[in-house]
Structures are given as structure tokens and as C-alpha cells.
Amino acid sequence: MLRVGYPSTLSSDLLRVLPQGIEAIPVSDTLDHDVEIDVWIPDPYANRAMRAWPRLRGVKLIISMLAGTEWIPPLVGPRVTICNAHGAHNVATAEWTVAAILAMLKYFPLYLDIQRSGIWKRRFEAGAHYARISGDADPIYPPVLLEELVGKTVLLVGYGAIGKEIERMLEPFRVNLLRVARTARSEPQVHAVSELDALLPRAEIVVLILPSTAESRWLIDRPQFALMPQGALLVNAARGPIVNTDALVESLNAGRIRAALDVTDPEPLPDGHPLWSCPNVLITPHIAASSPQFSLNALRTAAEELRRYMNGEPLQNIVQAGDSGGELSRL
């Protein structure tokens, strides 16, 4: 029987979605003895998973509950096959992205501040906010108190499972969509990442939704901020290290751009970090996928991968092919 370690923090009800023919073994981060398993579904909180790993023996395959798995290979080395939860968190992450774009264009952070102060007439601060961020010195009458999304140009950097879901959710807003991935293709048109700098001057909204890798580190740095139009909105739903944080802080403090960030570098963002107090930024503490459906969706994706593994079929979501290459026959 295939021994599958799962996070002891999960409700055992959820195990009903895993295939028959496995022995499900709870793995906690406080193990005081070694545990033999074949497949490990790590706790989605990396620090808990890291504490459990030294007690695990015999792991050939890791199936992550997350789409981003960059912390796993350094922990387990190159010999273990690693799959991610590709597709499991598309809806929650895409919804966060659209909500963050709308919140910033409707000035919700400012209006929440006004609500807390209880002073209605402060709403006219929005006009000054618009003048500063747009760089438009001529006052508009009546004053601008929010902006519209319809008709804006949105640059999606990363056009995978979540990028495509964001595109679907943005459809009713009739935005002009520009797409960037590693390689160019057509129908729909996707630009290669080498064209990013040429596209940035057209992008009123830049959405980052690509993995954190050596190639994507600091993809958005000082030159890229300089290429964005005045007042452009950077939305990072991906991973913090894709953006140079010092350059981001400089651009925000200079009033050049605005940002909505679910992820930061470093993470957690320490108390007193300059990013917390920058103007024109909305920060959520890496919560975009953490809906009540998170675990069920992730385990359903893991279950399909386990079914394939047990039937000797190719795995779908391999991010690192270890010694077993994901094949049960070599267990």
C-alpha cells in the first residue's frame, strides 16, 4: 500500500477525496520519531513543513498544496520528484487580483481611512490624490473621486493557469490586454519576456503572476519602474523577489507608481519596514489563495496526481523530476 504523509493540521474529513489503496499517515511538525512514507503532502506553511522534513524517511514524491514551490528543492535536494498544485488556486488568486485592481482604482484605502475618521468632507482629498498620481495639474470639475477600469491597458506578466483565469475575470471590464510569458506565441498573442521593456510604457496596470525563479528575480527593477507610465499600478500576486523592493519603495515614495501587493520581499514584511509606510500602496499579507476552498481544492489536485502515480501514468504537475522521475515502478 502506498504510504502518503499529509499535514496533521488538516481536517481528516478532507481525506475522503484521496484515492482508495493508500495509507494516509498524519505528519506533524513536532514528530519525535522517524516516519516512513513514499509520498509527502507537506503542510502549506513552509516553516511547519521544514520542521517535519528531518523526521521523514523514504520520500520519493512530494505533492505540494501550493502553486509556488520554490522553497522545496533547497530543503529536499534534487533526488525527490516534486509536483505543485497547478490549477488548485486559480479562482481565489485571480479574484484577489481583480479585487486589488478595483480597490486601488476606486481609492478604497483612502476611503477606509476617511470612514475611520468619520469626516465626510475629506472625500475631496481624492481629487488631490488623483492629481498627484496622474500628474495632471489642471483641476477637473467636478473633482475626480475614483477611476474606471474599463478601457485601461493591463499587462499580464505570466500567462499560465492563473494568468488565464485573471484574463477571463477581466473580460467584462473590456480592458486592452497585453500578455507576456517566457516564450512568444499567437492566438492569443503572447509576447516573450524579452519584449517586456518595450511593452511597459503602454501598461497602466502591470500584473505579476509568474513563478519565482533565478530568471524572474528582480524582473521589475529601477529601469522597469522608469518605463511605466506616471501613476501605473503594479499588482504583485506572485512572489516578492520578482520585484526589487528598494526600487519599489523609491518609486512609491517618488509618487511615480502605485502598487497592490499580496507578496513582498522579505516575507513576512518586518515591523517598521519602509514599504509599510509608502504612499499609494495596498498590502495584504500573502492571503490571495487562502479561501475556505484552499485545502479541498489542493487535495483534489493532489488526489489526481496520486491516482496517476498509482496507475503508472505520467504526472501532470512536475516542477522537479527527481530520481524516480515520478514513476511508481521505480519505487
Ligand X SMILES: NC(=O)c1ccc[n+]([C@@H]2O[C@H](COP(=O)([O-])OP(=O)(O)OC[C@H]3O[C@@H](n4cnc5c(N)ncnc54)[C@H](OP(=O)(O)O)[C@@H]3O)[C@@H](O)[C@H]2O)c1
Edge-first strand listing for the sheet containing 176-181: 191-192, 176-181, 153-157, 205-208, 232-236, 257-261, 281-283
**Helix or strand holding residue 224 (H, E):** helix 222-227
**Residue 289 in the binding site for ligand X (CB under 6 A):** yes
Choices 47-55, 115-123, 158-166, 268-276; region in contact with ligand X by CB under 6 A: 158-166
Provide the minimum distance between the beta carbon of 160 and ligand X in the complex, in angstroms, as a whole number: 2
Nearer to ligand X, 193 or 247 (CB): 193
What x/- string results for residues 58 through 77 when contact with ligand X is judged by CB under 6 A? ---------xx---------
If the CB atoms of residues 59 and 207 are measured against ligand X, the closer one turns out to be 207
188 cis-preceded (ω within 30 degrees of 0): yes
Residue 213 burial (CB count, 10 A): 13
According to the binding rule CB under 6 A, does residue 89 interact with ligand X? yes
Using the contact rule CB under 6 A, the part of the chain among 34-42, 137-145, 154-162, 168-176 near ligand X is 154-162
User: Is residue 241 within the footprint of ligand X (CB under 6 A)?
Assistant: no
Binds ligand X (CB under 6 A): choice among 133, 237, 252, 328? 237
Piece in contact with ligand X (CB under 6 A), picked from 18-26, 35-43, 107-115, 152-160: 152-160
For the segment 121-150, give every residue that binds ligand X (CB under 6 A).
none
Nearer to ligand X, 35 or 92 (CB): 92
Is the Cβ–Cβ distance between 45 and 66 less than 8 Å? no
Rounded CA-CA distance 53/56 in Å is 5
One-letter amino acid for residue 193 of the chain:
V
Phi, psi of 142 (to 5 degrees): -65, 160
Q: Which is nearer to ligand X, 126 or 234 (CB)?
A: 234
Please identify which of the residues 89, 191, 239, 256 carries the catalytic annotation: 239
Our answer to whether residue 286 is catalytic in this structure is: yes
CB of 237 to ligand X, least distance (A): 5
Task: Return the SS3 of 25.
Answer: strand
Using CB under 6 A as the binding rule, whether residue 7 contacts ligand X is answered as no
Binders in 176-235 for ligand X, by CB under 6 A: 180-183, 193, 209-213, 215-216
Q: What is the DSSP string of 114-147?
A: HHHHT-GGGGGHHHHHHHHHH---SPPSSPP---
Are 55 and 33 spatial neighbours (Cβ–Cβ below 8 Å)?
yes
The verdict on 162 binding ligand X (CB under 6 A) reads yes
239 noted as active-site residue: yes
Q: Which residue is nearest to ligand X (CB)?
A: 160
Long-range contact pairs involving 196-201 (C-beta distance under 8 Å, separation at least 24): 196/157, 196/224, 197/223, 197/224, 197/227, 199/155, 200/155, 200/224, 200/227, 200/228, 201/227, 201/228, 201/229
Which residue's CB is nearer to ligand X, number 56 or number 162? 162
For 149, phi and psi rounded to 5 degrees?
A: -90, -35
Closest to ligand X by CB, 155 vs 162, is: 162
By C-beta, is 84 or 280 nearer to ligand X? Answer: 84
- Among 36, 185, 267, 330, the one annotated catalytic: 267
Taking CB under 6 A as the criterion, the residue among 83, 178, 205, 238 binding ligand X is: 238
Question: Positive or negative CA dihedral for 262, 267, 271, 275?
Answer: negative
Give the span between the Cα atoms of 265 and 270, in whole angstroms. 10
Please report, as ranges, the residues that interact with ligand X according to CB under 6 A. 67-68, 86, 89, 93, 157-163, 180-183, 193, 209-213, 215-216, 237-239, 262-263, 286, 288-289
Q: Active-site positions?
A: 239, 267, 286
